[in-house]
Chains A and B, each alone.
Chain A
């Protein structure tokens, strides 16, 4: 995966969360590569990418941060894990991924419908030939999240 492919996802996260949630994210660490089995936060939203690539994009964050983010999206406080939290986080990832792949004009990418998983300290593994690019982010109001992207050109 070319490292420049990650920039549209970062820009899309900033635009999507500022516009739809009134929350401003920024980078908060170096972009790193992960292979094998790796940890995530306890809330994960993920969708697949197909077409001229095989890959996935993931948002992962502590559940309290997800509640704050989706609360900003729907304009109401979310205090517990419910259908609104999972639906809202999936929709935000869908918007983010749609905005990002529109900027990757060299590639013809289709995105799947998103899936949201919530549970304590999950570990994840992916295609061993295609490592994940990990982008640590944080909100100006506090709370960390990570964008993870894996993309193998076919």
Chain B
């Protein structure tokens, strides 16, 4: 399984990467902002899940999600938005705009694991 992590914090990506590795995911791609993420999605057409931070420089999480949904090749890509509590209302709007799920920081690794499993199960279940 291929997963794309999008977050401007290298430590946050490291934590997410460790959780994914514990879930048996080894094919992990990383981007520090939305623009870099879109480039990776163009090159890696078989990515199956994207975890995307909201507050990032250059291109934030909402703009990234908008671009992902507008592109036919990635329109159905499962996306989990990662956000601080302050942005919760915005993320609820983002879900209406096409995010499959969201996780609020601070979170424990098990919370992230559950959120990923729930999102993938929901997508597979249609």
Interface residues of A (CB under 8 A from B): 15-16, 19-20, 70, 73-75, 83-84, 87-88, 90-91, 94-95, 97-99, 101-102, 109, 111, 113
Contact = CB atoms under 8 A, between A and B. Distances in A.
Interface size class of B (residues with CB under 8 A): 20 to 34
A19 B85 contact: no
A99 B106 contact: yes
A27 B85 CA distance: 23
Contacts of A99: 84-86, 105-106
B107 A19 contact: yes
Contacts of B18: 75
B84 A98 contact: yes
- Give the interface centre of A19, A87, A98 by most chain B CB atoms within 10 Å: A98
Per DSSP, chain A at the interface is helix
B11 A95 contact: no
A97 B105 CA distance: 11
B10 interface: yes
A98 B10 contact: no
Interface string B75-101: 000000001111110000000000000
A84 B106 contact: no
A97 B83 CA distance: 12
Given A98-B86, A98-B87, A111-B86, A74 B11 contact: yes
A28 to B, nearest CB: 22
Contact of A101 (B57, B86, B106): B86
Contacts of A15: 106
A90 B106 contact: no
A70 B15 CA distance: 11
Contact of B57 (A19, A73, A113): A113
Contacts of A102: 84-86, 88
B14 interface: yes
Contacts of B86: 97-99, 101-102, 109, 111
B44 interface: no
Contacts of B84: 94-95, 97-99, 102
